[in-house]
Structure 1
Amino acid sequence: MRFTIASVATVLIGAVAVLATPVPKYTGCSLSSVPFPKESFVDPNNSSNTLPYPAANEKLAKIVLGYGSQNYSCIDGTPTPNGAVATLYDLSCAFAVSPEWADVLTRGAVQMDPTAQLAGIQMLKNMFNAQFIAGVHYFKGDFATPAFEFTDKGKFIGGVAGKIPALSGADAGKRPDNFGAVPSLRLAPKQGMGSTYSTIYRLHTAGGSAPPAKCSWQGQRQIPYAAQYWVYKST
């Protein structure tokens, strides 16, 4: 499906119709009825390899769409990860319509021109008087410490605690950088960093993988990607 601003509006307007609330909501919808995505936790090439499930005392707090770039430098002819940067968008009302609609947005986001995407989000914000931006994602200076800062003042600073390949059929990315989807991850917080949330999963990834061949570029190469981040909090 081609991803357009109109398709975003359709999802958000549909969410309001489904919820039938007296006051329309375009963000901040309840996640209590969102089904647990078991299939996203299983290695598509080895069903015995899975991401660890959330703990019994963890509750789903947010689902956000991360849209940005996975960054790479070229060291001795090998693409080397230099972290990532992404803007985070509230996906809760898209999930109120259906997980399938939310997946359409995630898969399609990576295909959008960044300038058009930002202009479209601003247009939707003005149309619906809603703040779709939920935060930012970036890496600390070591390129091994992912950080998330949310507009509600929540934060998460952690590291990889589980990894499996992207789902079968995942969007390979935007041409000419369609080298494949980055893996699904479980992120755990680093102690003493003041994280508000207990676990974050990167699921339903699109794009972001490094070129598979030897590299020769100078500086940093930014590969567009998108992903769902499922954010859990200990209760």
Structure 2
Amino acid sequence: MLFSQASCLLALTTVVAAAPYEKVEKRWGGWGGNGRPWWTPSSASSYLEFGKRYPGSNTAAPTCDLSQAVLPTAPTPLPAPAAGLSLSHVAIGRGTQNYTCDLTNSTAVPVAIGAVATLFNVSCVAADSPDLLAKLPGIALDLPVPTTDNEDSAAYQDMSGHHYFLDASTPFFNMDTSLHSYGTGAFKKTNTSSAPSDAPLGQYGVGNGSVAWLKLDAKTSDGQIFQEVFRTLTAGGNPSKTCTGMPAAFEVQYAAAYFLFEKP
């Protein structure tokens, strides 16, 4: 199914950005594969329920079948998820890729030192509307990072958690908030693939291209729910090719879709 830019923007502001959140008898719960919204039937049912794999104690809350979600394929395909793993969560990450420059070296190039992103739950979009999912990172890149410091806001209700680095080579996913506990995990990069040639250059169409797609494996399987993470559908994030005119440390805006796999 093809979606217009307006429909994508509406869906994104409903699903991801800080749209008004009202505790009313019926409210937006996300988007189904037919482009129509689901409704949550009760104010006791969290706004977040639309993106959960299971409805929890409220059996009337919307659900989706994540087995129907398809992991996007990079131009140079990444390895498939390991046998025995199942997709448990899909999130849009919106934040920055972070870099440093050695200003004492006239030929220095930017060095990646990690990333920081807020993650928003789009699991049901991935399951039911893959065409819409493919558009969301590019739209998210052109929107401000939603403020999530208010638990009553739509952005907080839809927030999966946060992504950051423990050190230069250890990406970490903290998927626990005051509303849910999806899990946490430390990872290592095991595979990479260049973003498609038509990926966004950067915010508002200006920039140096999109960061690579990645496959991340858990650093340890002991006590960690998530075992593999795929960074896909990247939008922006690449630095300039040289450090000429750049500060010692800088950020580049980016967005991406993250597919998180766990042991059943």
Q: Which moved more, 1:13-22 or 1:204-213?
A: 13-22
Letter in 2 for 1:35: A
1:57 aligns with 2:88: no
The residue aligned with 2:170 is 145
Letter in 1 for 2:79: P
1:81 aligns with 2:140: no
Aligned match for 2:126, one of 92, 95, 102: 95
Q: Separation in 2 of the partners of 1:193 and 1:224?
A: 33
Aligned match for 2:31, one of 15, 24, 27: 15
Kept in 1, the 8 Å contact 2:230–2:258? The answer is: yes
Kept in 2, the 8 Å contact 1:63–1:229? The answer is: yes
Q: CA deviation at 1:18?
A: 6.0
Q: Separation in 2 of the partners of 1:144 and 1:6?
A: 36
* C-alpha spacing 1:135/1:68, structure 2 compared with 1 (3 Å): same
Kept in 2, the 8 Å contact 1:177–1:224? The answer is: no
The residue aligned with 1:66 is 93
Please list every run of 5 or more consecutive structure 1 residues that lacks an aligned counterpart in the other structure.
Answer: none
* C-alpha spacing 1:9/1:145, structure 2 compared with 1 (3 Å): closer
The residue aligned with 1:133 is 159
* C-alpha spacing 1:31/1:63, structure 2 compared with 1 (3 Å): farther
* C-alpha spacing 1:102/1:50, structure 2 compared with 1 (3 Å): closer
Q: CA deviation at 1:36?
A: 2.1
Number of matched residues? Answer: 222
Greater percentage in helix: 1
Kept in 1, the 8 Å contact 2:89–2:261? The answer is: yes
The residue aligned with 1:190 is 219
Q: Separation in 2 of the partners of 1:70 and 1:210?
A: 8
Q: CA deviation at 1:33?
A: 4.4
Aligned match for 2:259, one of 218, 230, 233: 230
* C-alpha spacing 1:84/1:10, structure 2 compared with 1 (3 Å): closer
Look up the SS of the partner of 1:6 in the other structure.
helix
Look up the SS of the partner of 1:186 in the other structure.
strand
Q: Separation in 2 of the partners of 1:67 and 1:133?
A: 11
Kept in 2, the 8 Å contact 1:177–1:211? The answer is: no
How big is the alpha-carbon RMSD for the aligned residues of Structure 1 and Structure 2?
A: 3.1
* C-alpha spacing 1:54/1:192, structure 2 compared with 1 (3 Å): closer
1:26 aligns with 2:50: yes
Give matches, 1:161-200, under 5 Å.
Answer: 161-175=190-204, 178-191=207-220, 194-200=223-229
Q: CA deviation at 1:195?
A: 2.8
Letter in 1 for 2:84: N
Tell me the TM-score normalised to structure 1 length. Answer: 0.80
Kept in 2, the 8 Å contact 1:159–1:190? The answer is: yes
**C-alpha distance after superposition, 1:103-151 (max 9, x if no partner):** 222211111133xx338x969x6469x710111000113x111000102
Letter in 1 for 2:174: E
Q: Separation in 1 of the partners of 2:38 and 2:66?
A: 13
Q: Separation in 2 of the partners of 1:224 and 1:6?
A: 21
1:35 aligns with 2:35: no
Q: Percent identity?
A: 27
Look up the SS of the partner of 1:41 in the other structure.
coil
Kept in 2, the 8 Å contact 1:147–1:155? The answer is: yes
The residue aligned with 1:6 is 10
Kept in 2, the 8 Å contact 1:3–1:105? The answer is: no
Q: Separation in 1 of the partners of 2:70 and 2:121?
A: 18
Letter in 1 for 2:123: S
Larger radius of gyration: 2
Q: CA deviation at 1:177?
A: 5.6
Letter in 1 for 2:89: K
* C-alpha spacing 1:4/1:59, structure 2 compared with 1 (3 Å): closer
* C-alpha spacing 1:69/1:62, structure 2 compared with 1 (3 Å): same
